[in-house]
Amino acid sequence: MSDLNAADFASPQSNQMNQGPSTIASAATITPVNKFTRLTGTTSVTTINPPVTGYHELVFVWTTGTANGFNTGGNIAVAYTTVTDRPVMLFYDPRTGLYYPMAVS
């Protein structure tokens, strides 16, 4: 987390903010570096390493295939099955240490 800035996860974003990888492979544990991240693959995510401290929001879009999406068992509060190219927002509550998904249906 040392090179990440909380402003990189704020809204709105600008081209002056961290432009790290915007696409990462889905895995049981992921570490996003941008507020908006594309995920490839079909592996379900159960844990997200919080990129910053405190409350923040993340947006994920699976780009290949439909995965199970987000599963509980790590720091995801509610399981959610994703759909390719459909954004899913997650809200991090530092009091519970959990991400809560809100999805467009």
Q: What is the pLDDT of residue 71?
A: 94
Residues of the chain with pLDDT under 50: 1-2
Buried b (16+ CB within 10 A) or exposed e, 22-53: eebebeeebebbbbebbbeeeebbbbbebbbe
Write out pLDDT tens, residues 53-79.
899 999 999 987 666 789 999 999 999
Q: What is the pLDDT of residue 1?
A: 43
- CATH code for the domain in which residue 96 is found: 2.60.120
Find out whether 26 and 43 touch, Cβ atoms under 8 Å: yes
The pTM of this model reads 0.80
Instruction: Kindly state whether residue 1 falls inside one of the protein's structural domains.
Output: no
- Domains of the chain: total: 1
Q: What is the pLDDT of residue 83?
A: 86
- The terminus-to-terminus CA distance of the chain in angstroms comes to 32
Q: What is the pLDDT of residue 42?
A: 86
Print the domain residue range for 17: 6-103
